[in-house]
């Protein structure tokens, strides 16, 4: 139910978000534009494959480097859909920490980009007005189509991969693997970070993987590093940003994500006990579900509906790819 609700929120944002205001609030080379970009990016349900063309489009149409970097960092780390799934699988602590960390690292990267590579301000171009009116005319049907067809097709591959990887790791990785072989929290963070930077996992698909890793003994801080770096960086993202915005901006982008992931990962481990996360996860996955407003029959029905939508999304995605 949480994932279906997240898709619904994604459709609502798409259909009624005031897109014509975007350039007005992202074009200046100041901290306010950086904060606006992070505020815009955190709830948007765009993963790396969707955020890159959107962010680069912002930049080429007048958004500052700082606001563009802030948007590129904060958006793929989280979204309405991934927040709901994080709440469902990992409990409320990480569901709160994750968007806060995405917001703060976005601001940090954006301010750093403004100070290391100032660009001359150009007049933002309003290219959204016609499309925005078209979206609003589509109404509820267009909103539902985007939520459960278009957007689902955008992330279905990585969502399914994330679920399958989580299931595979649950079977292959011994229960005490991280306790026995990676008991040092700082070492586990570095290894997870190095593995996450070239890897692509969408914000939603990363959640079940993180849940399995925590249950296998990985510290919540190291899991947070994975939840940040996995969705925000990959080989394609690094290539596109370096080509479109320059090596200096690319370095700022990567440094902000790496530094933010390690800092907040360490902070999470130091301030919040591991057992507290496990208890909140167990409550979310078991007790919380049994006593929540989602009855058991609705959970089963949602699982069937989600399975059908995933199969339909995979079929539509690869049929469209073959036509292209």
Tell me the per-residue pLDDT of 211-258, one tens digit each, with 9 for 90 and over: 888 887 888 898 899 899 888 887 767 877 888 788 898 999 999 999
**Rounded to two decimals, what is the model's pTM?**
0.70
Mean pLDDT of 59-83: 84
Tell me the per-residue pLDDT of 282-323, one tens digit each, with 9 for 90 and over: 666 655 444 445 688 888 998 899 899 989 988 887 776 665
CA–CA dist 232, 208 (Å, integer): 17
95's CB contacts (< 8 A; 6+ apart) are 83, 86, 87
Structure confidence at residue 69 (pLDDT): 92
CB 312 within 8 A of CB 11: no
CA–CA dist 244, 125 (Å, integer): 18
148's CB contacts (< 8 A; 6+ apart) are 7, 11, 309
Residue in this structure with the two tokens 């993180």, named with its chain if needed = 210
Residue 120: pLDDT band with limits 50, 70, 90: very low
Three-state SS sequence of 59-119: HHCCCCHHHHHHHHHHHHHCCHHHHHHHHHHHCHHHHHHHHHHHHHHHHHHHHHHHHHCCC
CA–CA dist 5, 234 (Å, integer): 27
173-177, 264-268, 319-323: range with highest mean pLDDT: 264-268
Structure confidence at residue 289 (pLDDT): 45
CB 109 within 8 A of CB 248: no
**21-37 per-residue burial string, b: 16 or more CB within 10 A, e: under 16:** ebbebbbbbbeebbbbb
CB 247 within 8 A of CB 292: no
Residue 137: pLDDT band with limits 50, 70, 90: very low
Q: Return the beta strands (E) in the chain as ranges.
A: none
CA–CA dist 128, 133 (Å, integer): 9
Tell me the per-residue pLDDT of 28-65, one tens digit each, with 9 for 90 and over: 778 888 999 999 889 887 766 567 767 776 777 677 88
Burial of 115 (0-12, 13-18, 19+ CB in 10 A): exposed
Task: Work out the end-to-end distance of the chain between its first and last CA atoms, rounded to an integer number of angstroms.
Answer: 33
């Amino acid at each position: 139910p949480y994932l279906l609700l997240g898709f619904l929120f994604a459709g609502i944002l798409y259909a009624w978000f005031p897109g014509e205001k975007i350039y007005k609030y992202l074009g200046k080379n100041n901290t306010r534009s950086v904060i606006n970009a992070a505020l815009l990016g955190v709830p948007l349900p765009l993963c790396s494959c969707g955020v890159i063309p959107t962010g680069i489009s912002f930049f080429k149409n007048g958004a500052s480097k700082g606001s563009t970097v802030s948007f590129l960092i904060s958006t793929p780390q989280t979204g309405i859909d991934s927040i709901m799934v994080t709440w469902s699988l990992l409990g409320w602590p990480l569901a709160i920490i994750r968007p806060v960390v995405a917001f703060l690292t976005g601001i940090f990267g954006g301010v750093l980009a403004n100070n290391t590579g100032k660009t001359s301000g150009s007049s933002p171009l309003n290219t959204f007005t016609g499309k925005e009116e078209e979206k609003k005319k589509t109404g509820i049907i267009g909103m539902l189509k985007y939520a459960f067809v278009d957007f689902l097709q955008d992330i279905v591959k990585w969502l399914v991969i994330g679920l399958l990887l989580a299931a595979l790791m649950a079977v292959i990785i011994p229960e005490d693997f991280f306790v026995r072989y990676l008991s040092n929290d700082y070492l586990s963070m570095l290894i997870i970070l190095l593995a996450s930077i070239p890897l692509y996992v969408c914000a939603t698909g990363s959640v079940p993987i993180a849940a399995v890793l925590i249950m296998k003994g990985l510290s919540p801080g190291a899991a947070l590093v994975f939840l940040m770096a996995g969705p925000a960086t990959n080989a394609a993202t690094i290539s596109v940003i370096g080509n479109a915005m320059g090596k200096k901006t690319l370095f700022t982008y990567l440094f902000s994500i790496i530094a933010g992931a390690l800092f907040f990962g360490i902070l999470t481990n130091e301030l919040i006990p591991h057992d507290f996360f496990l208890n909140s996860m167990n409550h979310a996955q078991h007790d919380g579900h049994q006593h929540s407003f989602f009855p058991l029959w609705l959970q089963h029905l949602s699982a069937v509906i989600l399975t059908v939508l995933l199969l339909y999304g995979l079929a539509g995605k690869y049929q469209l790819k073959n036509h292209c």
